[in-house]
Structure 1
Amino acid sequence: MRLLVLGGTGFVGGATVTEAVRRGWSVTVFNRGMHGTVPSGVHRLRGDRTAPDGLAALAGGEWDVAVDTWDGAPRAAGDAARALVDAVGHYVYVSSGSVYTDQAAAGLHEDSPVVDADPGSVDGDYPQLKAGAERAVREVFGQRALVARAGLILGPGEDIGRLPWWLRRVERGGDVLAPAPADLPVQYVDVRDLAAWMLDAGTRKVGGTFNAVGRPAQTTMGELLDACVAATGADARLRWTDPASILAAGVQPWCDLPIWLPRGHPYRGLLEQDVTRAQAAGLTCRPVAETVGETWRWLREVGAVPPRAGRPQRSSIGLDPTVEAAVLAA
C-alpha cells in the first residue's frame, strides 16, 4: 500500500507513519520540514499548503490512502483535498469530538449537531476549524472520505502533555491530589490503536464519519492513576478528594488536572461519546495499563514532552505544586 500523510511528524501523524512502516507500506509525508524527523525509508515532500503553489510538491504522485491531520484553516484543507482528488484512492481526515455543539451531553453520536462552520473559512476557533475542514474534505472526496472524530488521545509521543504530567507528578511521590470519585469513567483512544484503525479503514475504503475513540467507561480515573503508580514504581499516595473542594480552590479540570472532567462539566460529554459505529468498523483500544506503561517508557527515553509540530507548545498543563499542597492541607 502507498500512504501519504499530510503532516507526519506530530503525535497522530507520527504514530500513523510508524504503523505504516511497520506494515511494510510505502510511505510519503508532506509538511513544511520544520519539525521532527521521519523513519528511515520514508519519502519526505516539503511544502506549505497555506502558501501560493505550496502544494506543488504533491504533483505527479499517486497513493492508495492519504491521512490528513490538519487543524488549521478549512480552506487549506479543501485546497489539499482538491489537489489530491485524482491522486489518492481514499482520504482520511483526523477531526475531533470538539465539533459537537452540546459538548456536555452524554452519548454524542455522529449525527449529533455540530458547530456551524464554513469550509472556505481562513480562521475560527478549534471546533470551527475542524468542522469546516470536515465539510471541505467531504465536498471533494464524498464517500471516498473517512472523517475520524478523535476524542482524548493518549499514548507514546503525546505532545500536549496530559498523561506525561500525571506520570511525572506521580514520579515525584508523596501525597498526590486525585479527583474523586475513583470510578469516574474516562474515555480515550491510544494513538497507536487510532493509527492502526485509520489505516485498516482506509485499506477497506470505509467512508463516513466516526467517533474514533474507545468505548465509554473503558477505564476510570482510579485505574489510570493506579497504572501511573505501578508504571513509575513511585512512593506516591493517591489522596482522593471531593471535586467540590478542588473546584472551590480554583483548580481547572482538563488543564490543571489533565484528563479529568467531573460530572456536570460543560465538556463532560467528550468523555462519554457513543462509539457504536466505530466499534462496528473494527476500532478497539488496548488496556489502560499498557498505554500508561509504554507512555512512561517513552517519556523516560525522550526526557520531556516534545514541542507540538506546527502549533505553540501549551504551557498551562498541570497543577502548581503550591496549589496542590494547599488543597490537600485543607
Structure 2
Amino acid sequence: MIATRRTLVQLSAAAAGLALAGPAAHAQGRPARKLNILILGGTGFTGPHQVRYAVARGHKVTVFNRGRRQADLPEGVEHLTGDRNTGDLKALEGRTWDVCIDNPTSLPFWVRDVGQVLKGRVKQYVFISTLSAYESNATPGTDESAPLARYEGADVMAETQEKLRADMRLYGPLKAASEAEARKQFGDAAVTIVRPGLIVGPGDETDRFSYWPVRLSRGGEIAAPGDGSDPVQFIDARDLAEWTIRLVEAGRTGAFNAIGPARPMTMAQMLAGIAQGVGVKPQLTWIPTPFLREQKINAWSDMPVWIPGEGESAGFHRRSIARSVAAGLTYRPLPVTAADTLAWFKAQPAERQAKLRAGLTPEREAALLAAWKARPA
C-alpha cells in the first residue's frame, strides 16, 4: 500500500528513536597500550577506516597489498607490496607485529601461506570472515556456535579466485575453511574471527545499501518489498572497522557476529531511518512477497538488503549479536549512515551515478508498480 500521512508520522517517530540509540563508535576511551599492527589489504572498503582509526589512536600501522588500489591513508603508514595469489610474501619475512588483521582473504591457501611466514611473529591474528560461513540461515537467533558451511570439493587448497568468481556458492564454504586454517596456523588462543553481514556506508561500490538513500532522495512513488515487517541487519563499515581495532586493543579472541543494529529492525524502520537521514517523506508502495516472486523480482539484488523473514531465510537477518555488543560493538545512528552514504554517492562521477549496481532500474520499478496496480481485484 502507499504510505499514508499517519504511516509517515509513525515511521518518523521510529526513526527518531533509532537516531538516539547507542553511543557513537568514536566515543571511546584511549587505548591502554600502543600496538604495532599489520593490515593485509587496507585499501578496500573497510581497510582505510581501520587504518585511520588505528593511527588516530596512536598505533603504528603497516599495510600489505599488491599496490594496485590507491587509498587516502595517513602519513606514517608503512606500505609493503606483495601478491598472495603468487605466494610473494617476501616483504613480510623476518618482521614481527603485535597483531595481523586479514581483511581480503576468502581462499584458505592465502591463510596457510601467511601463517607459514608470520607464525610466531604475531601475537594475535584477526580473520575477517562472513555470516555466509554459516551452514544455514533458517533459525532465528543463532549465535557464533552455529554449524559452519562445509567444503565438498576435492582440494580446498587448490581453490582460486577465478574458481570462486565462477561459482559464488563456494564463498561461504571457503570462508569457513579459511577460519579453520587460521586456527590451525596460529592456534585457537591467538585467533579472532569477525563475521560481518551486509557492510554499508560511504565507499560501498556494490550499492547494496546505497540504492535506498539514492532512491528515496529521487522521490516519486517507491516500490518497497513485502509488508515492511521483515527483519533487516547490516553494519556501517566505519563501525565494523573501528570495533575491529578496539577488539585487538583488548586482545579479544574467539568468534563474533559483526552485524547490527543494536536492536531488531524491520524493513519499514530501515526505510524510515534512511528517509530521516536524507530529509524526505517517501511515498512507499509495499508489494507483497508472493507478487514480487511472480514478477521475478529477486530479494537482495533487485530489492537490496531485503530477504523474506520466513522459511529457509527466517534467520538470515536475525543473527545474535549479544557477544559482539558485550565486546564493545557500537553503532552510528542509521540516519547518519544514510546521509553520509548519499553524500558520498553524489560526489561520484556522473557516469558512476548514472547506473546503480543493485536495485531496480527506474523502468523496471515503473513496470512493477503498474503491474501491481493492474492486478485483478
Q: 1:206 to 1:184 in 2, by over 3 A?
A: same
Write the deviation string for residues 69-128 of structure 1: whole angstroms up to 9, x where unpaired: 133321112211221122222111100010111122212221111112376342451012
> Post-superposition shift, 1:265?
5.5
Return the match for 2:230 from 184, 187, 208.
184
2:84 maps to 1:49: yes
Return the match for 1:120 from 157, 176, 197.
157
Return the match for 1:255 from 301, 321, 324.
301
> Which residues of 2 match residues 61-210 of structure 1 at below 5 A?
61-117=95-151, 120-123=157-160, 125-142=170-187, 143-210=189-256
Q: Answer yes or no: is the 8 Å Cα contact 1:254–1:261 preserved in 2.
A: yes
Unaligned runs of at least 5 residues, structure 2: 1-34, 165-169, 373-377
2:355 maps to 1:321: no
Query: How far apart are the structure 1 equivalents of 2:104 and 2:37?
Result: 16
Query: How far apart are the structure 1 equivalents of 2:213 and 2:182?
Result: 37
Write the deviation string for residues 152-199 of structure 1: whole angstroms up to 9, x where unpaired: 211222122112122222222211101132243211222111112211
> Post-superposition shift, 1:144?
0.7
**One-letter identity of the residue aligned with 1:320:** T
Q: Answer yes or no: is the 8 Å Cα contact 2:299–2:306 preserved in 1.
A: yes
> Post-superposition shift, 1:11?
0.9
Corresponding residue SS for 2:332? coil
Structure 2-normalised TM-score?
0.79
Q: Answer yes or no: is the 8 Å Cα contact 1:71–1:129 preserved in 2.
A: no
Q: Answer yes or no: is the 8 Å Cα contact 1:227–1:293 preserved in 2.
A: no
> Post-superposition shift, 1:55?
0.6
Unaligned runs of at least 5 residues, structure 1: 307-313
**One-letter identity of the residue aligned with 1:9:** T
Superposed CA RMSD in Å reads 2.3
2:93 maps to 1:59: yes
> Post-superposition shift, 1:9?
0.8
Corresponding residue SS for 1:231? helix
Corresponding residue SS for 1:77? helix
Q: 1:316 to 1:296 in 2, by over 3 A?
A: closer
Corresponding residue SS for 1:255? coil
Give 1 or 2 for the bigger CA radius of gyration: 2
Write the deviation string for residues 255-278 of structure 1: whole angstroms up to 9, x where unpaired: 011100112264442311012222
Identity %: 36
Query: How far apart are the structure 2 equivalents of 1:305 and 1:170?
Result: 20
> Post-superposition shift, 1:139?
0.8
Query: How far apart are the structure 2 equivalents of 1:180 and 1:217?
Result: 21
Query: How far apart are the structure 2 equivalents of 1:27 and 1:107?
Result: 36
Query: How far apart are the structure 2 equivalents of 1:304 and 1:4?
Result: 36
Query: How far apart are the structure 2 equivalents of 1:317 and 1:90?
Result: 36
Query: How far apart are the structure 1 equivalents of 2:366 and 2:185?
Result: 53
> Post-superposition shift, 1:232?
3.2
Query: How far apart are the structure 2 equivalents of 1:4 and 1:292?
Result: 31
Count of matched residue positions in the alignment of Structure 1 and Structure 2: 322
> Post-superposition shift, 1:253?
0.3
Q: Could you say which structure has the greater relative contact order, defined with CA pairs below 8 angstroms and 6 or more residues apart? A: 2
Write the deviation string for residues 222-280 of structure 1: whole angstroms up to 9, x where unpaired: 22222333333457422222222222110000001110011226444231101222222
**One-letter identity of the residue aligned with 2:199:** I
Write the deviation string for residues 22-74 of structure 1: whole angstroms up to 9, x where unpaired: 2232111100011132413221111001214x111112322222111133321
